[in-house]
Chains A and B, each alone.
Chain A
């Protein structure tokens, strides 16, 4: 396009029409507008306005946005969350909705607001033993650094994405891509990430991770040594030695305590790597996306020649990974060299058993954000009192109705499993920052005590009928009902 538009024209990227929107105007959809040079979402009130002027009762939106999964959504019971509530940030004034309702005879207040989180990020737990990248390595989306590789925990690799340094501390493009990546991950969409000196992964909340084009199916049952311990009995007598290949600890049956106890004969096997305790080896290979999270594709490369003093021709050897996904069976020839053979029937079951005991590999996405002072000021005139009330468990924090874990210590830093939140609960502002719903629920008496904006408390029914900027979603059965009086509240 050769046209030159005024500098305050924005291009909307909410849909492929990609409207150019002039200041004060809305795009073709009437849902996005240019307000003071910023792209802002304005909710479509037209249908509701019409319903009002025709005198029919306004029914709150039963809105479930999302890519179509083949089901047509149907509203269940009414449930107010902060999603779409808007925010009063950065003004020091009451939150958009402060709603009272009576629950089991107790007056409860829910302060409902959408928080703008430029101090936020996501923690990814990726169930895989494959090497995703070195610790501290950059995680990139569209080439921009959006986070880093952090610790490896049991059977999983953790990534830490976002945070203020990527959102606003880097280049404009870094911030934009970080925001987009976090938004997609929080809304359970698939994101492709590359890790410096590591793998290319595709991840989505609640879905198996895809590492270098390969979908992870299973988490390992344990390390190689643990696997030997679990399955030694099933192998005894059916095979002379077993090597369980694992990036962390590779186990060898004949040397392992479990083998010794059963009376497994020494086989003269010799393994590359650093021996820890008998039958347990560290660093048999480099980390990678091959067998058991190592870089090997041919397991024989971790074997040194068998010791002739102990080994014998026709010795039977099983090599298997910690997930049972890879396995190989060998017998030694006359010169004590392993020769590949088909896996005997008697051993198939044990390999399948390993696989069966490996749980489905998933990617889990935790959104983590800190409720800043101005957000808390929307709840109470004295923000620190809200923090105290949350710490004392007088106030419950939920995100779109999902339970949030509040990290002990200063401030209100919380974590929430995004799959427990309604679909597409997150939004963004071009700052860039994420917009996440947050609700604070507490007893009405307690609310008054902590300096809440009691004058702004309105009954639930009134809010439901009057306010158009509302959506209705169905509550997920695994979540506790956010309005249920808190366990600790009787102690106050």
Chain B
């Protein structure tokens, strides 16, 4: 039986929690009290139809993107498709790789269409869409493992940075991964773009055929997974330093290429306590402290 969407303020009275089926958003806006209220109302109004909108063409969204693009009708669906299409040649990818970021972006847009805000974010399970007005900034902490939250790095995103989206992907997260990265965090222009990029980079962090890695066809776990019978990572035994470097390297190569083409702004790849940061510029906005690097 269908459960209704949940719309509530968190106990802190500042953040809005929106929940419907598998979608779970934490929203915070800052600005005048009236504008924040208007923004939350707009967010909630947009939110309540999102799940139905996505589910109405779920089978298309779960299908591999090929040379014949699917005819998607929903605005969010099209956003998802645009974000992943870039990666579709020679790779298995479905629009679902960008669902979280696309939803976050859509909700944020509806808020900004309703009212001006100093700053705002929509956090969809770690895939975050940001709004920053002039002079504003956000400090973002990065978490290595969702089950063991401890920051392994932080970054400050300022209004001048070309970053309005960030996303994290890894095999320990809620979605399946083809790779072995604990977490790949990507900063990009949009949340949908960051989401898709984090997915493909995390997939690329890999040691194909390595016996320490347990992989299972996605459908054996989740019969209607968009990944079908592709093998997804379920466990990674401790790796040697060389193996870790090698796996990170394959992901970093892809991240560097995406950075140099300005598809993403930066990526932090984390695997078994080791982190590699890739940015396209020297003035790295990503700060990964030595202390947290040692944490494993």
Name A's B-contacting residues (CB within 8 A). Answer: 1, 3, 5, 9, 13-22, 25, 27-30, 44, 46, 49-50, 53-54, 59, 62-68, 70, 72-75, 180, 183-184, 424, 428
Contacts and interface: CB of A to CB of B under 8 A. Distances in A.
A48 B96 CA distance: 27
Contacts of B20: 15
Interface in B12-71: 13, 16, 20-22, 24, 37, 40-41, 44-45, 48, 51-52, 55, 58
A54 B149 contact: yes
B7 A3 contact: no
Contact of A22 (B22, B149, B222): B222
Interface string B161-179: 0000000000000100000
Contact of A72 (B1, B16, B148, B149): B16
Given A16-B51, A72-B7, A428-B1, 16 more contacts: A1-B224, A9-B223, A15-B20, A15-B22, A15-B51, A20-B222, A20-B223, A25-B222, A49-B147, A53-B149, A59-B11, A62-B8, A67-B5, A70-B41, A72-B44, A74-B9
Nearest to A17: B21
A366 B146 CA distance: 44
5 contacts: A17-B58, A19-B224, A50-B149, A65-B3, A66-B6
Contacts of A30: 22, 174
Contact of A73 (B8, B219, B220, B223): B8
B4 A72 contact: no
Nearest to A428: B1
B221 A22 contact: yes
Interface in B208-224: 219-224
Contact of A65 (B6, B221, B223): B6
Contact of A62 (B4, B9, B41, B220): B9
Chain A interface SS verdict (over half): loop
Contacts of B10: 62
A17 B22 contact: yes
B221 A25 contact: yes
Nearest to A49: B147
A16 B224 contact: no
Contacts of B22: 15, 17, 27-30
Nearest to A184: B1
Contacts of B7: 68, 72-73
A66 B5 CA distance: 6
B2 interface: yes
A19 B147 CA distance: 24
A472 to B, nearest CB: 8
Nearest to B53: A16
B2 A14 contact: yes
Contact of A68 (B1, B5, B219, B224): B5
Contacts of B222: 19-22, 25, 28
B223 A22 contact: yes
Contact of B3 (A14, A22, A74): A14
Contacts of B51: 15-17
Nearest 10 A-B pairs (CB), nearest first? Answer: A15-B21, A16-B55, A20-B223, A28-B22, A29-B22, A59-B11, A73-B8, A67-B4, A68-B7, A20-B224
Which of A1, A15, A70 lies at the interface centre, i.e. has the most chain B CB atoms within 10 A of its CB?
Answer: A15
Q: Which of A9, A19, A63, A72 has the most CB of B within 10 A?
A: A72
B190 to A, nearest CB: 23
B1 A180 contact: yes
Contacts of B219: 3
Nearest to A1: B224
A484 B19 CA distance: 35
A326 B225 CA distance: 59
Given A19-B224, A22-B223, A72-B40, A65 B2 contact: no
A66 B4 contact: yes
Contacts of B41: 70, 72
Interface string B142-155: 00001111000000
A16 B2 contact: yes
Contact of B2 (A9, A15, A25): A15
Nearest to A29: B22
